[in-house]
Amino acid sequence: ALPWYEHKMVPSSPASFDATSWLLFLAVLVNQSGRVMVPSLKTSVLADPDFGEPFAAVVGGLLSGVSIVCLGGKLLGAAFTDRLGGWLVLVTVFVMWLAATAGAIAAPTVDVFGYMWLLNSFAYTVTWGAAVQVVGAVYGEKERPAQLSKVASASRFGATLGNLFFGQLLSAGFAWRRVMMPMVPLQAALLLLCTYKYFTDSGLRASAAAAAAAA
């Protein structure tokens, strides 16, 4: 017999709409699109009359900082994702990512813009581990390979989609701050959806645990 959490959380029918699967796909897709956001805008930022010169002076150090932050994000993600649960980590990711994008758009100085870039880098680094944790917790052994493949495809396509999206907006003549703006509602919507999934799945686990204790 399956454990109680698999009875409660695995989709009942392969033919039914799997909201969890598609939410994970969208979360990773949008996240990986955002991963290339700042690098895609770098040339435009360098051409900015107010930001260009000071940004050129620090961009090398920022790139090194991004590498360090990504490494730290992987280590922290590995340490805390299983304890906190994938949905809670994804909620935290989109809170940080929304703050990073909004902060970068409104950044009054290159220093603030750089800090927002680092926060963005930390957020996307822990997303993959959180998505994998959700797949492991929600799906049974037979379903997991297909779900992991789906999440992996979102990761691969997301970066390409992001480069195309931001590149087209820049080619259309939009300033770099305006190019980032469409990411804000996407991130906000995913934050709300991941928050909803976190609370509904927590409620299911609590109800199942109470039923098991009563039995």
Instruction: Read off the tokens for 53.
Output: 């010169």
CB-based contact 170:44 (threshold 8 Å): yes
Model-level pTM greater than 0.85? Answer: no
User: Alpha-carbon distance 85 to 89, whole Å?
Assistant: 6
- pLDDT tens sequence for the chain (215 residues): 444 344 445 444 455 778 899 999 999 999 888 888 988 998 999 999 989 999 999 999 999 999 999 888 888 887 888 888 889 999 999 999 999 999 999 999 999 999 999 999 998 888 888 999 999 988 998 999 999 999 999 988 988 999 999 999 999 999 999 999 999 999 999 999 999 999 987 765 655 555 555 65
